[in-house]
A and B are shown apart, each in its own frame.
Chain A
Amino acid sequence: MYKATIGIEVHAQIKTKTKMFCGCKVEFLGKSNTNICPVCMGEPGTLPRVNKRAVELAVRTAIALHARINMRSIFARKNYFYPDLPKGYQITQSIPLAEGGYVEIDTGNGKKKIAITRLHIEEDAGKLFHTAEGHSFVDFNRSGVPLMEIVSEPVIKNEKEAVAYLKRLRQIVRYVGSSDADMEKGQFRCEPNISVSKDENRGTKTEVKNLNSLKAVERAIKYEISRQIKTIDRGEIIIQQTMLWDKKRQMAIPMRKKEGVNEYRYFKEPDLIPLILNDGDIEKQRKSIPELPGEKFDRLIKQYGIKKEEAEILVEFPYIASFFEKSVESGCSPKYAIGWITTDILGELNKAGKKFSDIKTGPSHLAALNKLIDNKTINMNIAKNVLRSIIFTGEDGNDYVKANNLAQVTDENAIENAVKELIEENAKEVERYKNGEEKLFGFFVGQVMKKMRGKANPGVVNKVLKDILNRR
């Protein structure tokens, strides 16, 4: 039986206005080579200077990861030649900003702490473009954009855990405001390394790059585990290499080897002094940390009695969580609120292809609907219909019910009339019911509701129906 071992390196773009070592603007899809200066272009004689904000945000992230922050971290150079690397080296860190720490995930089978090896700051490279005519161009707008590299220990067992870890990590950097972590924009780049083994020894690992979504991460890990197992079963050996995920073919393809990539000649960056932090710097960041996703997840379940899957949705989308909690605060029951939000509102948004911010109903609308149910003005089905109708108008639920004459009928006489009508029209079925076919009761209820356009109070319908049938 094979066991897989997975470690993941994440490069998260730190959310700053300017670059890591110069004052150039950080902008996604800006016009090529407009956000550049002598420093990020590696002009002779220029020197880097550290973006304080980037350090603060990295510290904040490290705290959220429960990592041990190094009061003195050291910048280093990673030397290699490539056209997108203006200085011929990347500034990274040899003594990282933080070490240790963990991200707690819910495996569906209990909790698990995924250990973090380190978090360090580094700069991004530019981007290469190749034309059909065989020309290559470099855009240096991204050159020097601040990144946090977050490396996990190889303690992840399968693709599900990997995705749970990445999801939680992405939530953390978003919660603390250190990264937008949009994978499609390359702001959260995941590079899993994967090995398989039949015993306690670790097998040879491969690394997979070019994963632009969590779906891709999941598929790539699954693919790579199965490829490695098949390879070993064929009696071949695993080659340590970097693979590129090919989204179209849904497979990982070995990357073409670059010359001399293995000898990076790391050494201390002599243009930058050690990065020294003090307790005050760290305390300041600690204070700005909000409730973290893991804490929120536990609290939502405990406080509102909602399901894990529901809590997961709220944790992933804090604005929905806030909407939910405000609805409850306004007087809506958590059970109704979570149902209406996750099925009716999200369902309607999905159908309409709209965003959560497009909805016009607020938490008070939900509370009002809840009240209409409580005072028996409408039933749940009507409530759902009302909600779906007013999502994009923001109309008052009460008004809508009145205007459309949807108020529930509780008048026993009206319901009796409908029941009597039903019995006359369905003499055979009544006969069968009386002969013991009790499941027909539901059919009768449905028919009565239909006759009353869904507005009858289900409790009253049940009572009246039972009374009349029994009397016969």
Chain B
Amino acid sequence: MTENELLLNGTIGQILSAVKGGNITVEGTVRFFIERIKKNNLNTFIEIYEEEAVKKAREADRKVAAGDVRGAFFGIPFALKDNIAVKGHKLTCASNMLRDYTATYNSTVYEKIEAEGGILIGRTNMDEFAMGSSTETSFYGSTLNPWDRNRVPGGSSGGSAAAVAAREVVFALGSDTGGSIRQPAAFCGVTGLKPTYGRVSRYGLVAFASSLDQIGPICRSAEDAERVFSVINGFDKKDTTSKEVEKYDFTDYSPKKFKVAVSNDLNDTNLNPDIKLSLSNLLNDIKRDGHNVEGVDFDFSKYSVPVYQILSCSEASSNLARYDGIRYGYRTEKYDSLFDMYKKTRGEGFGEEVKRRILFGTYILMAKNSALYASSFKVARLIRDKLKGTFEKYDILITPTTFNPAFKFGEKIDDPIQMHHSDALTSICNLSGNPGISIPAGFSREGLPIGLQIITKRFDEKTMFQFAKYLQSKSNWHRALPEE
């Protein structure tokens, strides 16, 4: 493998070995990716920390020279979605509201990756406050899909997914509230994991909907995603919703026979025929390998979107109340009373989609609508119970990640209902707490990536990674690169 090939398609493990062996320098690696960000010009990053990253790279190279190489991500360039706090760096959530806000503390995930020697090269673009499915709601403009610059990269972690797809970084973190990691991963042809709720500390993740948000990796392969997940997972006393379960460790792939359930969303008439074809072919392959594959009857996707909207917007309306112009962030210039200041600050500081969701959530939480909120909880509970039942019989549940491949800019931005429907298949996992991963599973006729979603029972990321690694051991979709 040439250095170029290694940096473009190597795994974290391979790049790490090359760094350790002195075959490549960290500074060279960092510069390689930063140059690509600039050259590609996909608007993947809101800010590149060039100076800081190069400085850290040089320190790392000195350590290599001194034989002092430690950490699972030693010298590996990575990026964070701009809703994950790094002390001293801006934390904007791609919003006018926070465009001048600098984080005063570190997120737990950043500290964990930093401790393993990862080199942060910047913060990536996203939908404002992670609300959106296309990065079109970003205050900093849309990110372009590297496979087709006329199309959206998905969202809300569109910057992270596009950056990994365009090989502008080795891996990136995103956040997933209703599909914000998996949907852009599918649109950009990369691997994106939403861990079990409670697996990864949310401390330092700017909250959208606290009971649904999880941080997860977006990577070139399931193997890399597992490496990153094995570093960032674990109980954190700063996040009491993180679960005190045994810390996840990377496990090598060992072939076994899986019991696979396939959701009947695959037969949904709304499903893009290319996606249907790709996934059907894949399922036939799986059957041929001797795995047990059976269809299961779900109608989750009918209910998941409204329930997801009700719960996520309710929490968001409260979580975003802190942006009031008092202590930090944007404040309007002219106002004649306290409440006038609040109204103008929030009116001017937030974008359309964010305001729409805050208004909706505020309405839902009003005492007179409490029944709607309560029944949404019940439906979420039912989804969780149904999935639990499924995993008593099966190891794996397969669904398409999305009904359609990446859409064009402007296609859905004025139609919130259509846009919200992008979450139909992914938000199931957020409502139930189950982990879900999207892996590349082919291309549409137009050459757009297709994503397959693998769901397992809660806290069983192990089976998920085993299955994803099995699929990636016999396919090359995850290695395909967009034309430059």
Taking beta carbons and an 8 Å cutoff, which residues of A are in contact with B? 38, 41-50, 77, 79, 81, 83, 86-89, 138, 259, 263, 265-267, 270-273
Instruction: Give chain B nearest CB distance to A310 CB in angstroms.
Output: 49
What are 21 A-B interface contacts by the 8 Å CB criterion?
Answer: A43-B105, A44-B85, A45-B83, A46-B105, A46-B203, A47-B240, A49-B237, A50-B240, A79-B317, A81-B321, A86-B326, A88-B321, A89-B318, A89-B321, A263-B366, A265-B318, A265-B362, A270-B315, A272-B241, A273-B240, A273-B241
**From A77, which residue of chain B is reached at the shortest CB distance?**
B318
Residues of B within 8 A of A88 (CB): 318, 320-322, 324
CB of B98 closer than 8 Å to a CB of A: yes
- Contact, CB under 8 Å: B207 / A271: yes
Q: Which of B108-145 contact A (CB under 8 A)?
A: none
Which residue from A45, A81, A86 sits with its C-beta under 8 Å from B205?
Answer: A45
Instruction: Give chain B nearest CB distance to A79 CB in angstroms.
Output: 5
- Contact, CB under 8 Å: B237 / A44: no
Distance between Cα atoms of A86 and B319 in the complex (Å)? 11
**From B320, which residue of chain A is reached at the shortest CB distance?**
A88
Instruction: Give chain A nearest CB distance to B107 CB in angstroms.
Output: 6
Residues of A within 8 A of B362 (CB): 265
CB of B101 closer than 8 Å to a CB of A: yes
Interface size of B by Cβ–Cβ distance < 8 Å?
Answer: 44
Instruction: Give chain B nearest CB distance to A47 CB in angstroms.
Output: 5
Residues of B within 8 A of A79 (CB): 317-318, 321, 365
CB of B202 closer than 8 Å to a CB of A: yes
Shortest Cβ-Cβ A-B pairs, 4 listed = A88-B321, A265-B365, A270-B210, A270-B211
> Given A79-B365, A270-B210, A45 and B342 touching (CB < 8 A)?
no
- Contact, CB under 8 Å: B367 / A263: yes
Taking beta carbons and an 8 Å cutoff, which residues of B are in contact with A? 83-85, 91, 93, 98, 101, 103-105, 107, 202-207, 209-211, 237-241, 314-315, 317-318, 320-322, 324, 326-328, 338-339, 342, 362, 365-367, 373
Distance between Cα atoms of A38 and B104 in the complex (Å)? 7
Residues of A within 8 A of B210 (CB): 270-271
- Contact, CB under 8 Å: A267 / B203: no
- Contact, CB under 8 Å: A81 / B324: yes
Which residue from A47, A50, A87, A263 sits with its C-beta under 8 Å from B322?
Answer: A87
- Contact, CB under 8 Å: B98 / A44: yes
Instruction: Give chain B nearest CB distance to A42 CB in angstroms.
Output: 4
**From B211, which residue of chain A is reached at the shortest CB distance?**
A270
> Given A265-B362, A267-B373, A83 and B326 touching (CB < 8 A)?
yes
Distance between Cα atoms of A386 and B144 in the complex (Å)? 95
Distance between Cα atoms of A86 and B328 in the complex (Å)? 10
- Contact, CB under 8 Å: B338 / A83: yes
- Contact, CB under 8 Å: B367 / A45: no
Distance between Cα atoms of A272 and B202 in the complex (Å)? 12
Residues of B within 8 A of A86 (CB): 322, 326-327
Distance between Cα atoms of A351 and B270 in the complex (Å)? 90
Residues of A within 8 A of B84 (CB): 45
**From B365, which residue of chain A is reached at the shortest CB distance?**
A265
Distance between Cα atoms of A55 and B206 in the complex (Å)? 27
Residues of A within 8 A of B365 (CB): 79, 265-267
Distance between Cα atoms of A263 and B364 in the complex (Å)? 12
Residues of B within 8 A of A89 (CB): 318, 321
Residues of A within 8 A of B318 (CB): 77, 79, 88-89, 265, 267
> Given A79-B318, A83-B338, A267-B318, A45 and B324 touching (CB < 8 A)?
no
Distance between Cα atoms of A295 and B241 in the complex (Å)? 42
Q: Which of B209, B315, B362 has the most CB of A within 10 A?
A: B315
Instruction: Give chain A nearest CB distance to B48 CB in angstroms.
Output: 22
> Given A81-B324, A87-B321, A45 and B107 touching (CB < 8 A)?
yes
Instruction: Give chain B nearest CB distance to A447 CB in angstroms.
Output: 78
Residues of B within 8 A of A273 (CB): 240-241
- Contact, CB under 8 Å: A44 / B206: yes
Distance between Cα atoms of A272 and B320 in the complex (Å)? 17
- Contact, CB under 8 Å: A45 / B207: yes
**From A258, which residue of chain B is reached at the shortest CB distance?**
B339
Distance between Cα atoms of A50 and B211 in the complex (Å)? 17
> Given A79-B321, A88-B321, A263-B367, A45 and B238 touching (CB < 8 A)?
no
> Given A86-B322, A89-B321, A272-B240, A45 and B204 touching (CB < 8 A)?
yes
Residues of B within 8 A of A77 (CB): 318
Distance between Cα atoms of A266 and B107 in the complex (Å)? 28
Distance between Cα atoms of A303 and B19 in the complex (Å)? 83
Given A45-B206, A88-B320, 5 other A-B residues pairs in contact with their CB atoms under 8 A = A38-B105, A44-B98, A45-B84, A45-B91, A138-B326
Residues of B within 8 A of A259 (CB): 339
- Contact, CB under 8 Å: A45 / B321: no
Residues of A within 8 A of B98 (CB): 44
Q: Which of A49, A87, A267 has the most CB of B within 10 A?
A: A267
Distance between Cα atoms of A81 and B321 in the complex (Å)? 8
Distance between Cα atoms of A50 and B338 in the complex (Å)? 32
Residues of B within 8 A of A43 (CB): 103-105, 328
Which residue from A42, A265, A270 sits with its C-beta under 8 Å from B327?
Answer: A42
- Contact, CB under 8 Å: B241 / A271: yes
Residues of A within 8 A of B93 (CB): 44
Which residue from B83, B202, B315, B321 sits with its C-beta under 8 Å from A47?
Answer: B202
Residues of B within 8 A of A266 (CB): 365, 367
- Contact, CB under 8 Å: A265 / B326: no
Residues of B within 8 A of A263 (CB): 366-367
Q: Which of A44, A83, A272 has the most CB of B within 10 A?
A: A44
**From A262, which residue of chain B is reached at the shortest CB distance?**
B367
Instruction: Give chain A nearest CB distance to B245 CB in angstroms.
Output: 14
Instruction: Give chain B nearest CB distance to A34 CB in angstroms.
Output: 15
Residues of A within 8 A of B202 (CB): 45, 47
- Contact, CB under 8 Å: A270 / B209: yes
Residues of B within 8 A of A81 (CB): 321, 324, 339, 342
- Contact, CB under 8 Å: A44 / B322: yes
Q: Which of A79, A86, A89, A265 has the most CB of B within 10 A?
A: A265
**From B374, which residue of chain A is reached at the shortest CB distance?**
A267
Residues of B within 8 A of A271 (CB): 207, 210, 240-241
Residues of A within 8 A of B91 (CB): 44-45
Instruction: Give chain A nearest CB distance to B96 CB in angstroms.
Output: 14
Instruction: Give chain B nearest CB distance to A48 CB in angstroms.
Output: 8
Residues of B within 8 A of A41 (CB): 327
**From B205, which residue of chain A is reached at the shortest CB distance?**
A45
Residues of A within 8 A of B207 (CB): 44-45, 271
Distance between Cα atoms of A175 and B303 in the complex (Å)? 54
Distance between Cα atoms of A316 and B327 in the complex (Å)? 43
Distance between Cα atoms of A86 and B98 in the complex (Å)? 16
Instruction: Give chain A nearest CB distance to B89 CB in angstroms.
Output: 12
- Contact, CB under 8 Å: A267 / B314: yes
Residues of B within 8 A of A272 (CB): 240-241
**From B328, which residue of chain A is reached at the shortest CB distance?**
A43
